[in-house]
Chains A and B, each alone.
Chain A
């Protein structure tokens, strides 16, 4: 079966060798930030420059104790696999975010619902040029 080019759910999610289970959502963000220029009588930007790129990640899990146990400021590598929607061999995407620094975790529990916790990470570049976010095929 060939790859569907559709990704569904997450597997093998970990940060600094800490494995995340009961994962509900993972978001990898390129984190681009734009700087628009306007001057004179402009009401719309006439130039938009890419100001910075700050790769980010957030992980939401129902295993709230795991991310709540990570201290803000802790750094490590995040790995996560986004499987092919129909499980085709070779159809998954493996994401790796190095130099990820844990920013914060919010633990939320609503009455009558499973609790969730969302951990957010901001990654730095070792040389200021190379993106910390990379991918491999499966």
Chain B
């Protein structure tokens, strides 16, 4: 990652980045990449596997509570929480959109 590039709040990593190892090695590779992109310590990237059609995507964030869309009960319920920048290699970097309804804005 370029040093001047802002640290994303979330990442979406295609399954192809898992490599060709066994299942544990593939999971480890995804976690390692997510940690690197999120500038998180080891064990600091929480990863969920999403299936979008026939494609598997790994969604990683620094908190297990994070969601792709605004949660139930939020005025923006169901709408995306992130602006996604897609890199040439297919990895997407997510940046939280300003939330005018948030009581506690994330200081990051």
In contact, A96 and B46 (Cβ under 8 angstroms):
yes
In contact, A5 and B25 (Cβ under 8 angstroms):
yes
Which stretch in B1-9, B66-74, B87-95, B96-104 binds the other chain?
Answer: B66-74
In contact, B69 and A130 (Cβ under 8 angstroms):
yes
Interface size on A, residues (CB 8 A): 23
B38-78 to A contact mask, C-beta < 8 Å, 1/0: 00001111111111000000010000111111111000011
Residues of B within 8 A of A5 (CB): 22-25
A135: contacting residue among B27, B68, B70, CB under 8 A = B27
Known: A126-B72, A136-B44. A3 touches B28 (CB 8 A): yes
In contact, B64 and A3 (Cβ under 8 angstroms):
no
Within 8 Å of chain B (Cβ to Cβ): is A25? no
Number of A-B contacts (CB under 8 A): 70
In contact, B78 and A137 (Cβ under 8 angstroms):
no
In contact, A126 and B71 (Cβ under 8 angstroms):
yes
In the bound complex, what is the Cα–Cα distance between A94 and B59 (angstroms)? 16
In contact, B46 and A127 (Cβ under 8 angstroms):
no
In the bound complex, what is the Cα–Cα distance between A131 and B32 (angstroms)? 20
In contact, B48 and A134 (Cβ under 8 angstroms):
yes
A-B pairs with beta carbons under 8 Å apart, 26 shown: A5-B25, A50-B51, A77-B64, A91-B24, A96-B46, A98-B64, A125-B67, A126-B71, A127-B68, A127-B69, A127-B70, A127-B71, A127-B78, A128-B78, A129-B69, A130-B68, A131-B48, A134-B47, A134-B64, A135-B47, A136-B31, A136-B44, A137-B27, A137-B32, A137-B43, A138-B43
